[in-house]
Structure 1
Amino acid sequence: MSGDVQVRAEVPVLADALVVYDAVGWSAYTQDPTLLERALAGSLRVVAARRDGELLGLARVVGDGAVIAYLQDVLVRPDAQGEGIGRRLVEEALAPFAAVRQQVLLTDAEPGQRAFYEALGFTEVRDHPAELRAFVRLR
């Protein structure tokens, strides 16, 4: 690993984004590049992590930015995981929304996800003291 990792607000070009989504196996996004491009362009905020110009990961926020900020698509290439890049992406993505009451995310039940997000201050909805419910309709 040569240079320092830079994390900043940036919508990466589609070709770069596709490489990262493919590296983490998110084929639902890579099967329809036009849809991914629209999703990135329509996000409230997209942040990218780069080393020596190469895209290592990204995170994006969707929502209204006033009462809800929904953290979406936090991903880091497998060869760059374990360096704190995911944490930096989440912190930078949510930085402008610190005062927003609802900061929400939905993620797969992959090993390590719970510990990662809890370390960033998130609580799994079933454990939240406000007795919240979460509903989803996936298509």
Structure 2
Amino acid sequence: VLNAFVYPVMDQRPVQYSSFKEESSDLIRPHRPVNPAAASRSHQELHKELQLTHKRLNREMPNEGKTELQRALEKRKWEQRMKASRDQEEAKKSTSPLHQELLKRHQRLENVLSSHCYCCFQFLKLRQIKQRQLLSIDI
């Protein structure tokens, strides 16, 4: 069995893969894929800074327990909800005269169509009754 050592990016201890046989030495040896975000020095420093900021905030304001980013996101969501509710209220209040007239016409048209459908239904019902009577007389 061939012992293959692979050195991961983050910790430099060897990881042993002993599943290879000597006759398969021409195969590509497996190794951990490199995570570019975790491997970069700037990402590590940024992560460390965020952790320290989080610890400091928890010590200074234990009741709040929220980072600046979380507070900013919550404030943004709250502002978006308020803007949406204001827009809805304005849309309800400020309907133009043209829009109001169109709504009235639409309601009138619906009333006419519903009464017309009811009349058609009654007509068809009476017609069926009449046809049954005619059939019963013929028999």
TM above 0.5, yes or no, is no
Structure with more relative contact order (C-alpha pairs < 8 Å, separation 6 or more): 1
Larger of the two Rg values belongs to structure? 2
Decide which structure has greater helix share.
Answer: 2
- Say which structure is richer in strand: 1
